[in-house]
Structure 1
Amino acid sequence: DPRLVASRRLSFVAHGRGACEGDPSRGHWEYLSNLRAWGVPTNEGASCCSSAAEARQRIESFKDRRAGLPYGVDGMVVRVDAFAQQAELGAASKAPRWIIAFKYPAERRETTLLRVDWQVGKGGTLTPRATMAPVFVAGTTVSHATLHNIEEIRRKDLRIGDTVLVEKAGEIIPQVVEALVARRDGSEQTIEPPSTCPSCAGAVEQEGPKLYCVNAACPAQFRERLKWFVGRDQMDIDGLGEKIVDQLVEAGLVKHFADVFALDPERLAALEKSDAAPQRKVRKDGTLAEAARIGPKTAERIVRSALEARGRGLQRLLASLGVRHLGEAASKTLARAFPDLDAVLRADVAALEALPDFGTITAESLVRDFAAATLRDEIERLRAVGVDLTSHGHRPDDGGASGPLGGKVVVLTGELPGWDRRTLTAAVEALGAKVSGSVSKKTDLVIAGSAAGSKLTKARELGVQVWEGDEALRELAALGAVVKA
């Protein structure tokens, strides 16, 4: 939306270069100087240092200056200046050897934990959200932070009334670091998990560290599930952002997923823009001018996109339903194994357990959720409005899938240079493999880059074949996988 972009008052600041021919610059500092001479804006805080000691001094002196800048800064980047030396140093598996980032310690402030509310997510997850006395941290005023789950609250021994330390993870996300136990006076209250859902008063169950509302008809769940349902990676309905979804639910225009595909463009166009109320002008007689509407063009775009979305197929539909344990990878597996949604709904625990990366807990949970009357009702409503319930990628005997990795279960972990996770997943699947999110006895191969972590450790413990670092790049290239990132 050009108007939204214009309201952000964005600025362009050049800091580097990509592929470049004909540049007379011999080093990065000369390149930045040329950019400035050509009228291209660069960061005025950049400088050229003659030694490592000077660079360290520059980093230290800038630490106090950054608070007065009109934008957030979480660190500084130090690089070798000469392009010839950059080329000589080359790159490791994760990053170039000639550049490094220095991150400043996160700014921390004290405040008081006032209360904890429990928010309901699309899968019924109850997430604790802290409300604190407002405190200015890293450029903004913070009064809320997620506490993640009940076990995290217990681990940090947080209590209502505590004086707590707050910081922004990565200078962006507020988080409670710890309680200052020495400040307690005995009036603090233990944070107890809710025994019922705060939205629908339904039953709550704990699975691992997380709490869940198990009422599939929970209204708070539906609102969040609807936002997920229309999202870009699910049914991808253009124009239906979070605010419009909230309005549709509040106005009673959408009570089921299927209602999205039967929206009336005239009623949709008449909805007020959710961000327009604070901007409504006051007439000379003191009355408010008419609020801005979504308008016919936006409404038509939403309706047109919804009609197109009906044909997305089984994989997208499954991923959009917001069922626990049914993410992108699991939805893709089911769409390969079953011809349509009816076949998925008929599958028992044994049939699901036989699929790659489907354990007993996942299989039992899916069978239970698929049998729920509320989900069955949603599916019948979707069928009635013409949503395509068939698989566009059905492979009846997927265990013998064609390709050099045909039928193999592959786990990706860490970072490989030149690849992002989405394109690497697509490339490995194109070679016939099933990409799984976790390592188990069913795993045939682990492809590991830098910062691989626990998945690589578990693969070695189980004796699973591993392609790591440069070996992974060579093996992928030999199989015909082409870098796309």
Structure 2
Amino acid sequence: MEENYMRQLVNKLNHYRDQYYNNNISEVEDSEYDKLFDELKNLEKQWNTIYPDSPTQTVGYQVQSKLKKVTHSHLMLSLDKSTDLNEIEKFIDNKKVVFMLKCDGLTCSIHYEDGKLISAETRGDGTIGEDVTNNIKMVSNVPLTIPVMGSVTVDGEIIVKRDVFERMNEGALEGEDFSHPRNYASGSIRQLDTKITKDRQLSFIAWKLIEAPKFSNSFKQNLDYMEQLHFEVVPWNIWKNTSLEKLPEIFSWMYYDVAEEHGIPVDGLVVAYDDIAYGNSLGATAHHLNSQFAWKREMENVETTLRKVEWNVGKSGMCAPTAVFDPIDLGGAITTRATLHNLSIIKGLKLGIGDRITVARMNEVIPKVTGNLTQSNNLEFPNRCPCCGDTLLHCVSESGTETLWCTNPNCPEKMLSKFVQFVSKPAMNIDGLSEATLKRFIDVGYITRFADIYHLSDFRREIIKMDGFGAKSYEKLINSIEKSRNVKVENYLVALSIPNIGKSAAKIISKYFNGDYSKLVEALRNNFDFTQLDDFGEIMNQSLYNWWKNQAVYSWWRQGSDLEDNLVAELHFIVEEKKEVAQNDFINGKTFCVTGAFQTMKRSELEKIITDRGGKLSGSVSKKTDYLLTNEADSGSSKAKKAAELGTPIMSEKEFLEKVGI
């Protein structure tokens, strides 16, 4: 009976691994997978039985894709892991160790010969991976050449930084599977089209030197050496104190503060012996190295009962499900709802109304359904739009993600979502037009296109008589609408809900054309290549042209078949004065890292001074950083320490403003 259950566990875990490594789909949370994995390990010990295909004996999963298969020059094994700090203390055993962030992405190995990048491959099953040489060259922080003759091999993690992930989600089409940074990174580096990989703005974080002419027996020195070769190295810290009392403090600091400071998604910490020869002498299993150990934070799952699933249509037309459950306390916040993203997640969870489910707060912020204890699998999916009643379109992406879409261009819910976006603060910033008010205006026919907002004064009598309105609230609304006529190009572009063009992309466009809408229009008419702009890829370029050229798609806000834009006729674009950068300005061409609290200005204002005068911003301190701008040089922060190590000048707010002449 136990052996049959073991076989079932092996099959289940292998299925999850296949979905994760080959299809970029996480059907279960890490915590659930680790729980099943540990259960299998214990049963194998108890029954002294191990199946050949057991995940405890293998790494990753056999690669199945169109990318070329590659046999590794070295075994790329996994790590043994635990959520128990006592296990970490036992592993350290009075030895000098290095603590590193456990980056949450896709493991990759890069090879150089005589200073030139010659190949790169993913981990795969630990022995055979996928050739991603062409794609790794699209990762901006990977050096294509290094100042070393001979062979050099570096292992690390392909990740997406948090700010990039947020920016991409901000402009992504609804339903795109950007629900997890790990899936995003894995899918992006394994694209057959290198342009897509470039557009995804990935990063490579080096965490282990495998081979080099100057290879050291010290793990720490090898990390330093990789940084000298211009790799972005995983944040790390040396630890000699074996007191369990201090471990939670340093682990918490690294897991939260350091990871957030560097913008790196993490799923734990790694402990490695600094003495590499000693670590190697401990050998390895078929699954993991004995020289390293991973600590993973135990996620708190709270049980509750699923009461219903709500379906709502977003501005792009995707019909998104939301789980509604009995109130639970998640980290001090009472929660009753969590997004389910798409059909695939619902099917994977085998949900049904009344099921006992588990919910956790992902990354300490977003509530997510992590498991289903009942698995009744009897939830009925809608076949018609819950708003307009049109038949829903069932779509399956290349990665297998299933979604439902309303294709009716006049669906009120889609229109409402677009209007909500249009009047929002990052867009036209119109006070007094809440979602409820917009819905009322749409229902009675006052607004059907964006331009109609600027003619609401035609309905003054009717609006004043509405519940909740009066002369004062009406005048306040009209004043806000009139004020919004003066708008920056970046806010206008955000207001239009153009797929893949979010706040960051809109700001880049506006800055390039100095806030001049007529220059943007001229560029569009002349087929300007927007990929010339910083962080602007082909997908974003195409999205912009789709918006510009496909008049029919946007006819609900652009009247007529000609290019006369009725909305633009209502607006006045604020052209920003171009700030000339003096040739002797010390900011021009230099890179600044800005951190901490300031006295006379906000951090964003200081950053604007830098970018306006030709400087660049960096989220972390590296050899490429010219100055660290902070009022907290003695705070002991990781950025201040790094600046001290590298000899990077640290400048206070007062010194900086004096230097600039402000």
Using structure 1 for the length normalisation, give the TM-score.
Answer: 0.54
User: In the aligned structure 1, how far is the partner of 2:617 from the partner of 2:583?
Assistant: 18
User: In the aligned structure 2, how far is the partner of 1:175 from the partner of 1:250?
Assistant: 33
Whether the 8 Å contact between 1:159 and 1:191 is mirrored in structure 2 is no
User: In the aligned structure 2, how far is the partner of 1:249 from the partner of 1:308?
Assistant: 22
* Correspondence 1:234 to 2:440: no
User: 2:611 matched to which residue of 1?
Assistant: 429
User: 1:474 matched to which residue of 2?
Assistant: 650
Name which of 522, 543, 557 aligns with 1:343: 522
Once the two structures are TM-superposed, the CA of residue 296 in structure 1 deviates from its matched residue by 0.6
User: 2:496 matched to which residue of 1?
Assistant: 321
Higher-RCO chain (CA-CA 8 Å, sequence separation at least 6): 2
Are the structure 2 counterparts of residues 481 and 123 from structure 1 closer, same or farther at C-alpha, using a change threshold of 3 Å? farther
* Correspondence 1:120 to 2:291: no
User: 2:571 matched to which residue of 1?
Assistant: 388
User: In the aligned structure 2, how far is the partner of 1:467 from the partner of 1:193?
Assistant: 56
User: In the aligned structure 1, how far is the partner of 2:320 from the partner of 2:411?
Assistant: 15
User: In the aligned structure 2, how far is the partner of 1:328 from the partner of 1:194?
Assistant: 34
Are the structure 2 counterparts of residues 242 and 112 from structure 1 closer, same or farther at C-alpha, using a change threshold of 3 Å? same
User: 1:448 matched to which residue of 2?
Assistant: 619
Whether the 8 Å contact between 2:607 and 2:617 is mirrored in structure 1 is no
SS at match of 1:189: coil
User: 1:22 matched to which residue of 2?
Assistant: none
Once the two structures are TM-superposed, the CA of residue 153 in structure 1 deviates from its matched residue by 4.6
Paired residues in the alignment total 332
Superposition CA RMSD, Å: 4.8
SS at match of 1:266: helix
- Residue segments in structure 1 that go unaligned for 5+ positions in a row: 1-90, 96-104, 274-293, 434-444, 450-455
- Residue segments in structure 2 that go unaligned for 5+ positions in a row: 1-256, 262-297, 629-638
User: 1:249 matched to which residue of 2?
Assistant: 442
Whether the 8 Å contact between 2:387 and 2:411 is mirrored in structure 1 is no
User: 1:160 matched to which residue of 2?
Assistant: 352
Deviation per CA, 1:172-222: give whole Å up to 9, x if none: 865423222xx44xx423787979897554656548769566665443222
* Correspondence 1:261 to 2:424: no
Are the structure 2 counterparts of residues 357 and 406 from structure 1 closer, same or farther at C-alpha, using a change threshold of 3 Å? farther
Are the structure 2 counterparts of residues 94 and 377 from structure 1 closer, same or farther at C-alpha, using a change threshold of 3 Å? closer
Amino acid at match of 2:352: I
SS at match of 2:413: helix
Once the two structures are TM-superposed, the CA of residue 345 in structure 1 deviates from its matched residue by 4.2
Whether the 8 Å contact between 1:314 and 1:335 is mirrored in structure 2 is yes
Correspondences of 1:13-24 after superposition (within 5 Å): none
SS at match of 2:437: helix
Are the structure 2 counterparts of residues 135 and 202 from structure 1 closer, same or farther at C-alpha, using a change threshold of 3 Å? closer
User: 1:360 matched to which residue of 2?
Assistant: 538
Whether the 8 Å contact between 1:107 and 1:167 is mirrored in structure 2 is yes
User: In the aligned structure 2, how far is the partner of 1:272 from the partner of 1:311?
Assistant: 30
Correspondences of 1:64-463 after superposition (within 5 Å): 109-132=302-325, 134-137=326-329, 143-150=336-343, 152-153=345-346, 157-161=349-353, 162-167=355-360, 174-180=367-373, 183-184=374-375, 187-189=376-378, 199=388, 200-201=390-391, 203=393, 206=397, 217-264=410-457, 265-273=460-468, 294-338=469-513, 339=516, 340=518, 342-343=521-522, 345-346=524-525, 348=527, 351-373=529-551, 374-375=553-554, 378-379=557-558, 383=566, 386-388=569-571, 390=573, 392-393=575-576, 416-418=595-597, 422-423=604-605, 425-433=607-615, 447-449=618-620
Whether the 8 Å contact between 1:262 and 1:385 is mirrored in structure 2 is no
Amino acid at match of 2:541: A
Are the structure 2 counterparts of residues 194 and 389 from structure 1 closer, same or farther at C-alpha, using a change threshold of 3 Å? farther
Amino acid at match of 2:612: A
Whether the 8 Å contact between 2:311 and 2:322 is mirrored in structure 1 is yes
Are the structure 2 counterparts of residues 417 and 384 from structure 1 closer, same or farther at C-alpha, using a change threshold of 3 Å? closer
Using structure 2 for the length normalisation, give the TM-score.
Answer: 0.41
SS at match of 2:306: strand
Once the two structures are TM-superposed, the CA of residue 416 in structure 1 deviates from its matched residue by 2.2
